[in-house]
Structure 1
């Protein structure tokens, strides 16, 4: 589990840091504040520790990290990830549970290789982490594989290509972890059918009973839940996985959002860690209720002032944070009450 992080001069994030991270961590803030940048930076770092030395991959940790940052952010050069300003240098530190910190940094002139890296004594991870972007990938699978994996062209970053490859993993024949089996059942109950991969036709379908529907004609929300269900069923995700979700509310009805977070709560109790970036009041409120019910610490990080780029940390266990998502919801409620009283 990721226990702490610190990033300085990472694109729009001049400084953001946190320690004592929880099983579920929430990132909120206005557009362009840097929420997705933070998720991608954390994802790139932890995937580096999972990919380095795996199988016959003989790349060094520095080479894996360089590749991961390059294909995740897709800049002309790595130095473009550094916050604009004379003499600024990016520095980063990510600490995993019971491990020394993985630190790295580079300047604005860096092209493709991170040379300033500290990884003394850090162990590689055997589990798999995943990034779930706002846009579903099932209907785009072939074009993602062609452009990102085969042709090595920019367009779909590695969060998309990694996800497509993870979804292709076969469902093991051995018995699934009891909690994960229950999770899969709960995900499938959210909609009447199941997302499946037709290996003969090499395409995804939505199956309801004996009826089969094209994935292109399937609702976005069903596909998003189907992706999560597939990763649980094929056991790409395990209790030690870290899951990054960008805008989980995208294409989901509020009722489905609530059910999804009930499932996330179960997975977090079993050991999975979640980092979630959201604009949704429903997401904030549901996580607040989970924190109260479970008596859990759920750290929340928010950019209160988009101009100053100042990040503030709080804990949903202590109450709802004072932020623009909450404030706007309250304002609309007050406006509605005012209209009713007129």
Structure 2
């Protein structure tokens, strides 16, 4: 089973319509403010819905405490986010009403049609949450108005699970890419994370380089079987804080995960990462590049291509070409 389609109506910054997903690897690009993170969180929230916790979807977002709505146009009645897989569909529908003389929008109805079988989804945020893991989950359970949404807290909870002594078949495919980068493995003690270096050194995550943390959490989620075959992996800006020399390895990891029946959705601002994914993809790999871009109406639309270089609305390439033009102009001027 794989997620195959997103459908939105009056949701966030997006135009009404559908986004088709590849069953293997999806790469979302776009300028700031085009909703890449919100889209990944919404997909995760749909996968996480449970009958006894209907607010799971909205708890994936940092919403205004008074209104808690995701509608783009608050005067329209319906806000809809639907997610379909190859054999089931989940639907989020919220209806809103603006009361006379009151600018606050209040939800008057909430409907959800859930996946019959829960989808195992993993969300990796841009922020490093493991450095702040000690006691954070306990505080989140104690205080209602906590400044971290569900996606961030879930990333800590899942990374904190005990790891296997021996890697799974899936982990054996991916770990050889990762361990040379972090020069070791991950260890957890008293809710704190450490990197056990190959030279025997034990480094607290607070003192570790940000790039190593990024690789380390993926290592841990593979070793504790949070990421298994059939998982949907949603990774927001995997290139953030990474040394550029790591990017081809990350591209190889994402492609290999997708070959091992892990559906991958990432957002990125990195020309290097996107190009490595494009050129290292095999003929049988189903890679889909999505460009989220704004039109004159202020709404965000989705352009889809199998090749990164074929995208017409490509904010990353536009910025890269502007740099190259400036370099060329300076060299010619000299």
Q: TM-score range by the shorter chain?
A: 0.7 to 0.9
Q: Report matched runs for 1:175-324 at 5 Å.
A: 175-198=166-189, 201-208=190-197, 209-291=199-281, 293-305=282-294, 308-317=298-307, 319-322=309-312, 323-324=314-315
**Residue matched to 1:57:** none
Paired position in structure 1 for 2:6: 5
CA RMSD of aligned residues (A): 2.3
Aligned equivalents of 1:117 and 1:128: distance in 2? 18
Q: Is the contact made by 1:78 and 1:111 (CA closer than 8 Å) also made in structure 2? A: yes
> Using the alignment, how far apart are the partners of 2:235 and 2:108 within structure 1?
28
TM-score by length of 1: 0.86
Whole-angstrom distance in 2 between the partners of 1:104 and 1:305: 24
Partner of 1:328, secondary structure, is helix
Q: How many residues align?
A: 321
Maintained 8 Å contact 2:178/2:215: yes
Task: Name 2:43's counterpart in structure 1.
Answer: 42
Richer in helix (by share): 1
Cα separation, 1, equivalents of 2:284 and 2:138? 46
Alignment partners' CA distance in 1, 2:14 and 2:136: 29
Specify the SS of the correspondent of 2:69.
helix
Gap runs ≥5 in structure 2: 98-104
Whether the 8 Å contact between 2:289 and 2:306 is mirrored in structure 1 is yes
In structure 2, the partner of 1:56 is: none
Distance in structure 1 (CA, Å) of the matches to 2:322 and 2:307: 24
In structure 2, relative to structure 1, the CA distance for the partners of 1:178 and 1:135 (3 Å cut) is: same
> In 2, are the aligned partners of 1:149 and 1:161 still within 8 Å (CA)?
no
Query: What is the aligned partner in structure 2 of residue 157 from structure 1?
Result: 149
| Corresponding residue number in structure 2 for 1:129 | 121
Give the conservation status (yes or no) of the 8 Å contact 1:148–1:154: yes
TM-score calculated relative to the size of structure 2: 0.88
Query: What is the alpha-carbon distance in structure 1 between the residues aligned to residue 203 and residue 212 of structure 2?
Result: 12
Cα offset, 1:114, TM superposition: 6.1
Match of 1:93 among 82, 104, 115: 82
Contact 2:133/2:191, CA 8 A, preserved across alignment = no
Question: CA 1:43–1:112 in structure 2 vs 1: closer, same or farther (change >3 Å)?
Answer: farther
Aligned: 1:82 with 2:71: yes
Q: 1:11 to 1:316 in 2, by over 3 A?
A: same
> Aligned equivalents of 2:30 and 2:82: distance in 1?
22
How many Å separate the matches in 1 of 2:109 and 2:231? 26
Could you tell me which residue of structure 2 aligns to residue 68 of structure 1?
A: 56
